[in-house]
Amino acid sequence: MSTEVKVPAVGESITSGVVSVWHKKSGDQVKAGDALFTLETDKVSTEITAEKDGVLQTKVAEGAEVKIGDVVAVIEEGSGSGAKSTTEPSPAKASAKTQDEPKPASPAKSSDAMSPAVRRVVTEEKLDPEKISGSGKGGRLTKGDALAAVKSRETAPEPSAAPDAKAELGAEEKPAGEVKSERFTRKKMSPLRRKIAAQLVMAQHTTATLTTFNECDMTAVQELRAKSQDAFTKKNGLKLGFMSFFIKAAVEGLKAEPSINSRIEGDDMILNNFFDIGIAVGTERGLVVPVVRDADKKSFAEIERDIADYATRAREGKIKIEDLQGGTFTISNGGVYGSLLSTPILNPPQSGILGMHKIMPRPVAVDGKVEVRPMMYLALSYDHRAVDGKEAVTFLIKVKECIEDPKKLPLDF
């Protein structure tokens, strides 16, 4: 008896995804709860686990795009020895092999014994499995073996061979739809990157975005942070960062100017009476924005813990869709990458986003004297349909005042 492995529903608006990697290969013994593959969608990556014990037989290759509900594998009940044999080809396959191959393939290198990814490389590159040394269990061919054979063949001289279309282009087609040449590499955008691109273009086309700037002196926050760091770390088990100060300052600014904590729906303007602050986090896959819920009610330690947890899970691809939904305002910190000034793009349907930047020592006038202070440029991008310039400037000045005089914040450490 076999159990189908289907692509599960992982979010209300998600209809498809990509099988980015198989953690178990075709023919592997799996147990209930084992991670089978990672499904990459336009929002998150999710590990799909086995529901029953048995032997896995995959049906799609790594890099394949699949829809919710598609069958991507089956799990045959029993151990590897008791599972349906994959070493004896059917009569039809045997006939095909007789015509296409000069000698029969060994059991470990038969077409049925290959994983879909290996079979695809062998078929597309017209490789002879018998001439490839298998490094897998029982001499089984792996994807790496097949790719190594392709590379070895390309580096070997072939004076009599006529160049095919790929050779003329100087490109090699990769299993995951990637094409490389000496001058460029072409590859498909990931679902997340496509979603990010669509969101950014949509934000530019559907909002009246304007950006206003200011700067703040980070001296007071740096001194308070340095003074409180040891006690804070000892008490809470994590460090006190700058982001929690800016989240608290942003909440104060949103309370002072509620229009920035709003969104437009059709002809209606919805003012949010809660403060769910999105924090932009960069990952290898792209930018995600997990949300710190009810930031006005949380302590500095709770906010720092949320940020650390989200950052870790985002980079490991374990963040959940519900973690990314429902934010009312966003903060983006380009300063961690060295950005001195930028104009952040809105995160629809939100009406505002605050951009933090690099702390840079600069000469400034203080009480009629020139002093070198650690300064940070702040940028607020806002939807001018919902927010007027006066309100935007007032919000940014409120954030500046709270950072330059942290006593105006509800300090609880």
- Give the CA radius of gyration of the chain: 28
- Annotation says 23 is catalytic: no
Q: Give the whole-angstrom CA distance, residue 399 versus residue 246.
A: 7
Identify the CA nearest to 21 among candidates 121, 115, 123, 136: 115
b/e per residue, 144-172, with b = 16+ CB within 10 A?
A: ebbbebbeeeeeeeeeeeeeeeeeeeebb
Which residue is catalytic, options 294, 384, 405, 412? Answer: 384
> Is 164 assigned a catalytic role?
no
Strands 360-366 and 291-292: unpaired
Residue 208's SS3 state is coil
- Burial-class residue 124 by CB neighbours within 10 Å (0-12, 13-18, 19+): middle
| Given the residues 230, 294, 388, 412, the one annotated as active site | 388
Cα separations in angstroms, 152 against 96, 121, 126, 337: 27, 14, 14, 40
Task: Give the number of other CB atoms < 10 A from CB of residue 245.
Answer: 23
d(CA 299, CA 137): 53
Q: Which helix (H) or strand (E) holds 355?
A: strand 352-356
DSSP letter, residue 325: S
Which of 336, 312, 335, 314 minimizes the C-alpha distance to 324?
314
Assess contact for 327 and 349: CB atoms under 8 A. Answer: no
Provide the annotated active-site residues.
384, 388
